[in-house]
Amino acid sequence: MYSDKVKSYIELLEGELKNEKFKDFEKSKPVIRQLLDTEIMKRYKMPDKTIIERSAKDDLQLQEALRIIKDRGLYNSLLEPK
């Protein structure tokens, strides 16, 4: 039905699509692991405090916010109008 040239383009695009899906999956692994970890802890009726503490440990945005809050000079400079 398709010419050999079109078939080769389709195969090339399929290969590129697989590569992109794999890259997206690899990039998302930490988030997926954290979500699975949280769901497993919920399933085994872990206390909410434990779940929150565990997820906060891996939360990069929270870690950065805490770093800024602890650095008073940086914190105040971010609040000053430019």
For 13-30, the pLDDT digits (tens) are: 999 999 999 999 999 998
Q: What is the value of pTM for the model shown?
A: 0.53
Q: What is the pLDDT of residues 43-66, one digit of tens each?
A: 888 888 888 888 888 888 999 999
DSSP string, the chain: ---HHHHHHHHHHHHHHHHHHHHHHHHHHHHHHHHHHHHHHHHTT--HHHHHHHHHHT-HHHHHHHHHHH-HHHHHHHHS--
How many whole angstroms separate alpha carbon 53 and alpha carbon 61?
14
pLDDT at 46: 87
The domains of the chain are located at 4-79
pLDDT at 15: 94
